[in-house]
Amino acid sequence: MGYGEKVKKWFFEEDDDDVYENEEIDTEEENVKSTSLFEKAKSTKTTDAMKALSANKDSHLILFEPRAYSETQEIATYLKQKRAAVVNLHRLQKEQSKRVIDFLSGVIFAIEGDIQQIGPKIFLCTPKNIGVSGNITMDDSETDE
């Protein structure tokens, strides 16, 4: 029985038993609604965060995993276009990783951005228009790798 039929039945039938029966059903529906409202509120926070990121068309997050130092210039191009970049240096040797970080640090300085290590050999590079809050702490063993 649909909701519209219940309303019609409530208005047009005068039997008190049906009215109480409908009220009990409505109470059960309210419990279901309150649960779904909680779930909706939880998903709304996520949706709001996604809307905030997509509201500014200039803010994009690009993922890079360079295999050679020569690919670093492409990362710099994206940063100059006011796009954030996550750079994973796991595929590079230690010396090349240092060169990449030195180069990206210079680019970040020039565009007044920020660079943060978010994991072992993983860095977040952001231009001036994208703010980052919070920090990630790592053990000494993770930073030496």
Confidence check: pLDDT of 43 > 70: no
**Rounded Cα distance, 130 and 124, in Å:** 11
Residue 138: the pLDDT is: 74
Residues 110-125 have a mean pLDDT of: 93
Q: Assign 40 to helix, strand or coil.
A: helix
Q: Can you give the pTM of this predicted structure?
A: 0.56
Q: How far apart are CA 132 and CA 36, in angstroms?
A: 32
Residue 9, classed as helix, strand or coil, is helix
Question: What is the C-alpha separation between 52 and 66, in angstroms, rounded?
Answer: 29
Residue 63: pLDDT band with limits 50, 70, 90:
very high
26-40, 43-57, 64-78, 91-105: range with lowest mean pLDDT: 26-40
127 pLDDT higher than 60: yes
pLDDT for 142 equals: 59
